[in-house]
Structure 1
Amino acid sequence: MQQAIIGFHLDEEGHWVADLACGHAQHVRHNPPWQNRPWVITE
């Protein structure tokens, strides 16, 4: 379900976070960090 954005703030690492009308928050990242997971590509 989509929620209205009622504001923004920076988290402790300096990343923007949207404050949602439902009381939750959602990170707003254009370049999300990649995670190395070698077990996904190895036998």
Structure 2
Amino acid sequence: MGYMKLDKRGADLLFQVLTDREETASVAIASNEGFGKAHVFT
């Protein structure tokens, strides 16, 4: 995904993919950003 910015539709689709995946297997998401620069999903 890199540095892509997501619009509302893209964020909804990503959330759906992660939700569907979570039902069958683990999902790991990592970042090399410091804690102070972490993005908050609202």
Shared fold per TM-score greater than 0.5: no
TM-score with structure 1 length normalisation? 0.23
Name the structure with the higher strand share.
1
Structure with greater helix percent: 2
Considering only CA atoms, is the larger Rg found in Structure 1 or Structure 2?
1
Higher relative contact order (CA 8 A, sep 6+): 1
